């Protein structure tokens, strides 16, 4: 099985292929899968299976593993592997979605925050624990997506979100430039970096939200191996029609 290589010549995608992609900003993970499946169908693979191993929010970029053909059997195993992210967090303000999808709904003082305080807050958030997902997420509640309830006017006070058990192996402070910080996070499946941003604000006696997010690693796959989406689609268009 070929994984993340930059040459598609001679491949039989039905046998299995893992495309390591750099998901573009504002694309959903489903958008990427749909686009690739359409290109494969145009190339002659009429009934081929395509799926992704780990959702990225539309406002996030970076590693998205797209499993093709028999590689779709590996989706669950790939999703379970460790992830790494680089995130920008804005202190002193919150949003309903915990990121830039929605405007700021409340501001907080942040002048009291120090570099040492940030390092201590990050340390307290490492390890195994429970985490509450954002209301604006794809989590299902009584058969509905949480974001559908949020858009219908429900709030965290009226909707009970089930906490997930996560493991944050490491949080490294990369940049400190109040009110913004940049962090690198190594974590388990199911970790919401948007929720982590919110938790950082609370730990610092302030508020916070995510302003950018990039997945830099998924299991053993890194950004250096990734195709740009348009590059991959162009290679698919060049494959011989079956």
Highest mean pLDDT among 9-13, 54-58, 166-170 belongs to 166-170
CB atoms within 10 A of CB 228: 12
Is a pLDDT exceeding 90 seen at residue 146? no
To the query of whether residue 57 is one of the catalytic residues in this protein, the response is yes
Is a pLDDT exceeding 90 seen at residue 238? no
* H or E, element range at 121: helix 115-124
Q: Are residues 70 and 21 in the same domain?
A: yes
Residue 40 sits in a domain whose CATH number is 3.30.2350.10
Q: Which of 57, 88, 99, 142 is catalytic?
A: 57
Q: Are residues 26 and 118 in the same domain?
A: no
Q: How far apart are CA 141 and CA 148, in angstroms?
A: 10
User: So what's the pLDDT on residue 93?
Assistant: 98
Q: Are residues 224 and 214 in the same domain?
A: no
Under the banding of pLDDT at 50, 70 and 90, the label for residue 149 is very low
User: So what's the pLDDT on residue 136?
Assistant: 63
The total of structural domains in the chain comes to 2
The pTM of the full predicted model, rounded to 2 decimals, is 0.89
Over residues 204-229, the mean pLDDT reads: 96
Q: Are residues 103 and 193 in the same domain?
A: yes
Q: Are residues 60 and 98 in the same domain?
A: no
Q: Are residues 201 and 100 in the same domain?
A: yes
Range of the domain at 22: 2-80+220-238
Q: Are residues 120 and 42 in the same domain?
A: no
Is a pLDDT exceeding 70 seen at residue 22? yes
Over residues 175-190, the mean pLDDT reads: 97
Is a pLDDT exceeding 50 seen at residue 79? yes
50-52 and 144-145 strand pairing = unpaired
Q: Are residues 231 and 204 in the same domain?
A: no
Q: Which residue has the tokens 């959903």?
A: 28
């Amino acid at each position: 099985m070929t994984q993340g290589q930059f040459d598609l010549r001679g491949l039989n995608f039905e046998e299995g292929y893992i495309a390591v992609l750099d998901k573009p900003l504002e694309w959903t993970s489903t958008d990427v899968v749909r686009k690739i499946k359409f290109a494969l169908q145009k190339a002659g693979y009429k009934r081929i299976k395509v799926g992704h191993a780990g959702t990225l929010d539309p406002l996030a970029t970076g590693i998205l593993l797209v499993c093709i053909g028999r590689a779709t059997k590996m989706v669950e195993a790939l999703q379970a592997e460790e992830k790494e992210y680089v995130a920008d967090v804005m202190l002193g303000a919150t949003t309903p979605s915990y990121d830039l999808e929605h405007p700021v709904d409340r501001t907080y003082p942040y002048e009291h925050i120090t570099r040492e305080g940030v390092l201590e807050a990050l340390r307290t958030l490492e390890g195994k624990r429970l985490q509450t997902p954002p209301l604006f997420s794809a989590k299902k509640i009584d058969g509905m997506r949480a974001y559908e309830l949020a858009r219908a006017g429900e709030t965290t006070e009226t909707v009970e979100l089930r906490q997930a058990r996560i493991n944050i192996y490491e949080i490294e402070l990369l940049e400190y430039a109040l009110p913004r910080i940049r962090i690198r996070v190594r974590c388990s499946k199911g970790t919401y970096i948007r929720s982590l941003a919110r938790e950082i604000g609370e730990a610092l006696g302030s508020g916070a939200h995510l302003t950018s997010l990039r997945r830099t690693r998924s299991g053993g796959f890194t950004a250096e191996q990734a195709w740009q989406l348009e590059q991959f689609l162009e290679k698919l268009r060049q494959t011989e029609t079956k």
